[in-house]
Amino acid sequence: MAKKAKTEAEIALFRESVCEAATRLFIERGPQNVTMRQIASEVGVSPMTPYRYFSDKDDILATVRAAAFNRFATALETAVTNAPDARSKGRAVGDAYVGFAKTHPAAYQLIFSFSQPDEDRYPELQAANGRAQETMVGYVRDMIEAGLLKGDAQLIGYMFWATLHGIVVLELASGLRGMNGDTLREKIMRTLYAGMQVTPPTLDS
């Protein structure tokens, strides 16, 4: 008797289980040290089974990274949408950024600790990456239009992004000995706004 084909729901569930197992291994060992055989073993299936659903390990890595980028973007987009006005968007994005990194450290690591030189092979990953980058620039564009900032939106957005990333990495690595991350973020942001000679948006808690 022929084996019954999996339903779309069963396929989606299995792909998810493969992605969860692969994520654990990627975080623990680094993608370069993980094989498809190890992923299959982690899921509890034969070595060839994952190949029915993913072309190779890089395909799995692209899939989990795209999902992480989208979760990250959703968190920041929600923060911007819920901000009462343009002035509060900067603080809202900063809070959402740090909150995401602390709540979802594995996803944050998938986004920023790993890369794929052949990203153009994976349209979903490219789209998710582009969406995440837009979240770090779009709110700055809104603030410029409101007269709160002056300059190039992408450059300013990346300045803020680099600041947030640096603080988060130091915090996650317990590198901010004797310094509160939120306090550091506020002081740096105030300095950046002052350097641009504009009135800073609301940064107080």
CATH number at residue 33: 1.10.10
- What's the total number of domains in the chain? 2
The answer to whether position 16 is within a domain reads yes
The answer to whether position 100 is within a domain reads yes
The answer to whether position 181 is within a domain reads yes
- Last residue of a domain, which of 9, 32, 54? 54
Own/partner pairs for 81-88, CB < 8 Å, 24+ apart?
A: 83/139, 85/146, 86/142, 86/143, 86/145, 86/146, 86/148, 86/201, 87/143, 87/146, 87/148, 87/201, 87/202, 88/201, 88/202
65 and 135 together in one domain: yes
Is the CB of residue 136 less than 8 Å from the CB of residue 72? no
CATH code of residue 137:
1.10.357.10
168 and 96 together in one domain: yes
97 and 174 together in one domain: yes
| Cα–Cα nearest to 188, from 149, 161, 169 | 161
32 and 80 together in one domain: no
* pLDDT < 70 positions in the chain: 1-3, 197-205
| Tens of pLDDT, residues 20-51 | 999 999 999 999 999 999 999 999 999 999 99
Neighbours of 139 (CB within 10 A): 24
46 and 69 together in one domain: no
How far is 157 from 29, CA to CA, in rounded Å?
Answer: 32
97 and 113 together in one domain: yes
Buried b (16+ CB within 10 A) or exposed e, 101-134: beebeebbbbbeebeeeeeeebeebeebbebbbb
pTM of the model: 0.87
Residue 84: predicted pLDDT: 93
91 and 167 together in one domain: yes
The answer to whether position 172 is within a domain reads yes
The answer to whether position 94 is within a domain reads yes
138 and 63 together in one domain: yes
37 and 66 together in one domain: no
The answer to whether position 2 is within a domain reads yes
In sign, the C-alpha dihedral spanning 159, 143, 188, 164 is negative
Residue 158: predicted pLDDT: 94
| Domain that includes residue 125, residue range | 58-195
The answer to whether position 200 is within a domain reads no
39 and 126 together in one domain: no
Residue 197: predicted pLDDT: 58
Ramachandran bin of 151, using left for φ above 0, alpha for ψ from -120 to 50, beta for the remaining angles: left
The answer to whether position 202 is within a domain reads no
87 and 155 together in one domain: yes
How far is 121 from 116, CA to CA, in rounded Å?
Answer: 10
Buried b (16+ CB within 10 A) or exposed e, 174-189: eeeeeeebeebbbebb
Residue 116: predicted pLDDT: 84
176 and 112 together in one domain: yes
> Which tokens go with 133?
């980058």
